[in-house]
Amino acid sequence: METHEVDVLIVGTGAGGLTSAITAHEYGANVLVVEKSDKVGGTSATSGGGTWVPNNHLMTKHGESDSREASITYMKACIGDDVSDERQAAFVDESPKMLRFIMDKSHVDYISTPYADYFPDKPGGKDGWRTLDPVPFNAAKLGKNLDNLRDPHPQTIFMGFTITIPEASKIITKTKGWLWILMKQKMLYTIDIPMRMKTKRHRRLTGGNALLGRLYKTTLDRKIPIWLNAGMTSLVETDGKVTGAIVEKDGGPVQVVARRGVVMAAGGFESNPDMRGQYLKGPTDVKWSGAPGTNKGDAHKAAEAVGANLTLMDGAWWGPTVQIPGMDRSVVMFVERSLPGIYMVNGQGKRFVNEGLSYDVVGNAMQDYADNTWVVFDARARKKYAIGPLMPGSVKPDEKVPDYIMNLIRKADTLEELAEKIGVDKAGLLETAERVARFSETGKDEDFDKGGNAYDRYYGDKTVEPNPCLAPIERAPFYAFQARPGDIGTKGGIDVDTNAQALTKKGTPISGLYAIGNCSSSVMGHTYPGAGATLGPAMTFGYVAAKHMMGAND
């Protein structure tokens, strides 16, 4: 068997993996990154790119402040005892350091955004600025390597071009200037003839593609090798220490010796139907996931084989999703649920959750109604907003919507007829319509308090009063489509300590083995404190792991 020796082996090319690779390289390591697919970026590249870093230095540019105490208080209020206080504190302490490091030592650049925490009313919560948005990146800087970067999620592409988180907020909520943003980016995309001759991709990478484009460019500049189509099949253990891994490359096995250690950054198990069935509360289905389809728990199995403990395996980053024929993954309803006049009902025709809460909370609440959750709205909302698989009716009216999408939609002239078409209780749906009409007048959702916090209102329609998240369902025709309790990845995995070092069932570290991102047990426990609470910890503990294995204590 061929042997290849390095100091540090990174398994996976998401944001956490590449951050770890760059950090180890900065501290003098000979690094190799392996990726089982033919693309760099993992799930991170298909994400919105938001990165949650409490007490970050960028918020001061907006006159905002945070503190270690407030950040720890907030995390504890969200997470409880699912994760040790020491590990929660480690994230709060190390994430601002990671941010400064990666912005100083790589092409990565961020801005702080007024994106509220998902639970802003909990102790220590903030109405914004802990979530960072990657600054757009010029794809041409990657040259021919752009072909190796995983494409963004199809739902983040608008008529060929991409947008940032702040731009998306303006477009979705129809804030002043939203149309100019669309027209400007469409024009710039269309007239960029040199780029159009090379690729259909937008030169202006945003979101997860901007973040991974910047990280990837840094690895190229540093000449850190990345093996594509190179899947790890097992770990190598010598005298109780992980000393490398077996990697399938070019049709044959290669033993990669890692003198300092191996960092598992290979994602979750959301694309493995057997593991989903074994660990996740059901019903559940791979087809309901919004993730790319490459993460099958390989790292989990390999780590478990050398004695690693797996925890939080029932957890996922939940979200309501819609399956669209011909799309390789489901569309996640991230934000439109906050908009006025859009509600979710169960088989009784009744609401069961504040639709404006984070997608994780809503997706989790849908578990009890996995086969009978319907998104309901009227002609007013249909015309004004993008909802699930539908563009706003003002942009694409029903007659211009492709049949394969309209086949997902139920449409009726009365609510009674709509209830019959979707198989929910008529009286329940009519009562729901009566109640939300009354709440829309008073501005207070007496059932679930939709619009009652800063996060709900971030994606509300500022032109609607008295509550930007509430409007009646009263204008025919009426619409509905089915949603499922999907996910953007699983969050259970290899148990780790504050250094991201893998732990045995007895709680002792496994020398030479580290785990970060979705193949580790999430520092966020069963909750989701804010936008980017996936990428923030992945990058932070990738940074921590690399420093620990290199003996860097600064």
H/E stretch holding 505 reads: none
Residue 168 maps to a domain: no
Does residue 498 lie in a domain region? no
Look at residue 388 and tell me if it is in a domain.
yes
* H or E element at residue 509: strand 509-515
pLDDT of residue 161: 65
Residue 395 located in a structural domain: yes
Average pLDDT over residues 199-227: 93
Asked if residue 168 lies in contact with residue 153, where contact means CB atoms within 8 angstroms, the answer is no
Which SS3 state, helix, strand or coil, does residue 299 take? Answer: helix
Q: How confident is the model at residue 420 (pLDDT cuts 50, 70, 90)?
A: very high
From 201-205, 307-311, 387-391, 393-397, the region with the lowest mean pLDDT? 201-205
What range defines the domain where residue 343 resides? 320-486
Residue 269, domain member (yes or no): no
Q: What's the CATH number where 435 sits?
A: 3.90.700.10
Euclidean distance between CA atoms 39 and 186, whole angstroms = 26
- Residue 196 predicted with pLDDT over 90: no
Q: Is residue 105 part of a domain?
A: no
pLDDT interval class at 1 (50, 70, 90)? confident
Interval 493-542: pLDDT, tens: 999 999 999 999 999 999 999 999 999 999 999 999 999 999 999 999 99
The DSSP letter of residue 330 is P
Q: What is the mean pLDDT of the chain?
A: 94
pTM: 0.94
Q: Assess if residue 550 is contained within a domain.
A: no
State mean pLDDT over 202-223. Answer: 94
C-alpha distances in angstroms, 398 versus 387, 401, 406, 484? 13, 5, 8, 23
pLDDT for the residue numbered 246? 98
Backbone angles phi, psi at 426, to 5 degrees: -65, -50
pLDDT of residue 554 exceeding 80, the answer is no
Phi then psi dihedrals of residue 112, to 5 deg: -85, 140
The answer to whether residues 481 and 311 touch, using CB atoms and an 8 Å cutoff, is: no
Name the CA dihedral angle for 74, 98, 332, 231, rounded to a multiple of 10 degrees. Answer: -130
Q: Which residue has tokens 């991201």?
A: 500
Average pLDDT over residues 93-121: 97
The answer to whether position 442 is within a domain reads: yes
What are the tokens at 520? 């580790």
Residue 272 has pLDDT above 80, yes or no: yes
**Do 204 and 148 contact (CB within 8 A), yes or no?**
no
pLDDT confidence bin for 282, thresholds 50/70/90: confident
- Type of residue at 132: L
Structural domain count of the chain = 1
Q: Is the peptide bond before 283 cis (omega within 30 degrees of 0)?
A: yes
Least confident of 90-104, 325-339, 461-475: 325-339
C-alpha–C-alpha distance, residues 542 and 501, integer Å = 11
Closest CA to 387 of 477, 298, 322, 296: 322
* Cβ-count burial 454-476 (b if 16+ within 10 Å, e if not): bbbbbbbbeebeebbbbbbbeee
Q: How confident is the model at residue 180 (pLDDT cuts 50, 70, 90)?
A: confident
Structure tokens at 178: 């939203």
Q: What is the reported pLDDT for 213?
A: 97
Predicted pLDDT of residue 377 = 98
Sole residue written with tokens 């404190």: 529
Q: At 158, is the pLDDT very low, low, confident or very high (cuts 50, 70, 90)?
A: low
Pairwise CA distance, residues 284 & 485, whole Å? 8
Alpha-carbon gap, residue 496 to 520, rounded angstroms: 7
